[in-house]
Amino acid sequence: MNDNFGPKPWHQTNWDFRAAFNFMFGSAGAGLLVAVAISGAAGNALRAEMLLGMALIGAGLLSVWFEIGRPLRAMNVGFNPFTSWMTRESFAAGLVFALGLAAVWFASLHLAQAAALAALVFAYCQGRILQAAKGIPAWRVPALIWLVFTTALAEGAGLFVALAVLADTPARGALGYFSLALIARVLAWSIYRGGVAKAAVRPALAALDRAGKMLVQLGTVAPLALLLVGWFVPEVARVLMPLAGVAALATGWQFKFVLITRAAYNQGFALPHLPVRGTR
């Protein structure tokens, strides 16, 4: 990383799989709410997908709740909206649940769209939470914000497409949105990879590269190919499209799991100068 003197970086031990689950489930849930709002779903389909999206966000937050040291003080998380993205994430989550539950109650697409806006803010906050962690070089790269954000969109769209096939063949608009989200995610990965190369240590880069390879090959190229085949051969579309959706979702999840639990090396300590002892 540099020519300074000091002990080698080591992996952080404060956040484990429980924190990773928040970023995995939370972003997929937020992305699903966005996909539902864009699709124009109505009635029970809208209700079911909205509930699933909120359940995923809730599962992520519940997972973090199991990790914090003082769970009975969890409400204190809302005390610092001025500078803490974790507080802002909790506010966004509250808004998602309020608007989302109202949308489910009234089966209202407009309320679902408002909930989707809050979900976008929630996904953005998740990116900012990681980027604000100055102690982890692989996270503090600004491009990570957009990678986390686009990953949420791609995962949610993938989940939406996979679920939509259960009822009917997804609309072309939904498939188009899914494809765009996949392309945005892979572009964000490419930009992030360029930035993180200068910041992160070798073991972190190795972990990220393995996860990134999956993201590109299984999470982008394969789903796009499956969608293309499904487009031209409608008979197999009902089999291929859920596969494409699940691939996008699973690779996004594995990437974030790796990001939190495998690539989160600190930068150790570094001395730009050694002490000059004795006479000269």
Partner 1 sequence: MTRWAMVADLRRCVGCQTCTASCKQANATPPEVQWRRVLDMEVGEYPAVKRVFVPVGCMHCDEPPCMHVCPSTATKKRPDGIVTIDYELCIGCSYCAIACPYQARYKTDRASFAYGKATVQETQAFNPKRLAVATKCTFCVDRIDAGLAKGLTPGIDPEATPACVNSCISQTLSFGDLEDPHSNVSQLLAENQTFRMHEELGTGPGFYYIWDKKQGDASA
Contacts with partner 1 by CB under 8 A lie at: 5-7, 12, 14-15, 64, 67-71, 73-74, 76-80, 83-87, 90, 129, 132-136, 264, 266-267, 269-277, 280
Q: Which is nearer to partner 1, 84 or 169 (CB)?
A: 84
Got the DSSP string for 227-263?
Answer: HHHHHH-HHHHHHHHHHHHHHHHHHHHHHHHHHHHTS
**What tokens does 18 get?**
């429980």
Of 17 and 269, nearer to partner 1 (C-beta) is 269
- Based on CB atoms, which residue is closest to partner 1, 58 or 78? 78
Nearer to partner 1, 14 or 232 (CB): 14
Least distance in angstroms from the C-beta of 123 to partner 1: 18
| Residue 168 CB, nearest approach to partner 1 (Å) | 42
Minimal distance in Å, beta carbon 137 to partner 1?
9
Q: Do the Cβ atoms of 18 and 66 come closer than 8 Å?
A: yes
Toward partner 1, which CB reaches closer, 166 or 271?
271
Q: How far apart are CA 242 and CA 263, in angstroms?
A: 30
Query: Which residue, chain included where needed, has tokens 């590109």?
Result: 216
Compute the least distance from the CB of residue 275 to partner 1, in Å: 4
- The nearest distance, CB 252 to partner 1, in angstroms, is 22
Q: Smallest distance from the beta carbon of 120 to partner 1, in angstroms?
A: 20
Q: Which is nearer to partner 1, 234 or 278 (CB)?
A: 278
Please state, in angstroms and rounded to a whole number, the distance separating the CA atoms of residues 236 and 241: 9
Q: Pick the closer one to partner 1 by CB: 135 or 176.
A: 135
- Min CB(126)–partner 1 separation in Å: 13
DSSP β-bridge partners for residue 36: none
> One-letter amino acid identity for 169?
T
Backbone angles phi, psi at 271, to 5 degrees: -100, 120
